[in-house]
Amino acid sequence: MPLLTLTNVQVHYGQIRGTHDVSLSVEEGEILALVGSNGAGKSSTLKAILGMVAYPVGSIIFNGADLHKLQPSDIVRLGVGYSPEGRRVFPQLTVIENLRMGAFTRPAQEHAERIEQMYAYFPRLRERSGQMAASLSGGEQQMLAIGRALMSRPKLFLLDEPSLGLAPIIVERIGDILEEIRQTEKLTVILAEQNSHWAMHLASRAVILELGRSIKTGPTSELLLDESVRSAYLGV
């Protein structure tokens, strides 16, 4: 059984629709790329899973639980972690304080060990532990946003547009670390990205979103050879 299943999800922002019809499933331990151009509905899909936006139509089942109408904090407690587009670290808090904020669902006695684990994945964060998040580089802020989300020990990690504004070498580094964490923690990841090339090389499967609809899904090894995907999303 998949860890997560979305069936015909239609996100509404009042009268505006964020998605029209998104269906997808994610298997435990895989990275699924959610690919599509501006406004395709990637962020709306992640927000629906986390319970941040309304979806009057469709269903979302995570680990056997129906997430409909649950609060985001309850969904985090069930094992979903989220790193939003634009990182949204707390600028006036230090690196270690940001990490602690991510652990609000966990017992306090676990925090120190989990912070150590995050510093092992991201040695840069250890070096900058007492530094204000506002003064970090874009890449370091992205690492902090990922570390903060993983402090809650999620089973499923929703990662929105981590490559935004970062140099290719930093994006590659973040991909390597993500793969290391996936293997070490058997983490399941949904990676929403406009950088389709990078995301589809990191992920084992992908879902293509177009105008709020999931129009194609499959192993990345196949989609990377699909002529329509290559011309629309990979620029080749």
Ligand X SMILES: Nc1ncnc2c1ncn2[C@@H]1O[C@H](COP(=O)(O)OP(=O)(O)OP(=O)(O)O)[C@@H](O)[C@H]1O
Single out the residue of 42, 128, 213, 216 in contact with ligand X (rule: CB under 6 A). Answer: 42
Cβ proximity to ligand X, 128 vs 213, nearer residue: 213
CB 17, min distance to ligand X, A: 7
Q: Give the contact letters, 124-163, x = binds to ligand X (CB under 6 A), - = no.
A: ----------------------------------------
Single out the residue of 18, 51, 102, 162 in contact with ligand X (rule: CB under 6 A). Answer: 18
List, in sequence order, every residue forming a beta bridge with 13; answer none if it has no partner: 16
**Residue numbers 186-215 binding ligand X by CB under 6 A:** 194
Q: Give the contact letters, 69-108, x = binds to ligand X (CB under 6 A), - = no.
A: ----------------x-----------------------
Q: Applying CB under 6 A, does 51 fall inside the site for ligand X?
A: no
Angle at the Cα of 89 from the Cα atoms of 39 and 65, rounded to 5 degrees? 65
CB 36, min distance to ligand X, A: 5
Cβ proximity to ligand X, 75 vs 209, nearer residue: 209
Q: Pairing between strand 80-83 and 4-13?
A: unpaired
Cβ proximity to ligand X, 16 vs 236, nearer residue: 16
**CA nearest to 6, candidates 20, 21, 25:** 25
Q: What are phi and psi of 52, to 5 degrees?
A: -90, -20
Q: Applying CB under 6 A, does 43 fall inside the site for ligand X?
A: yes
Cα separation values, 131 from 87, 92, 117, 156, Å = 17, 9, 19, 29
Total residues binding ligand X (CB under 6 A):
13
Q: Applying CB under 6 A, does 16 fall inside the site for ligand X?
A: yes
Single out the residue of 6, 36, 125, 208 in contact with ligand X (rule: CB under 6 A). Answer: 36
End-to-end CA distance of the chain: 35
Give contact residues for ligand X (rule: CB under 6 A). 13, 16, 18, 36, 38-44, 85, 194
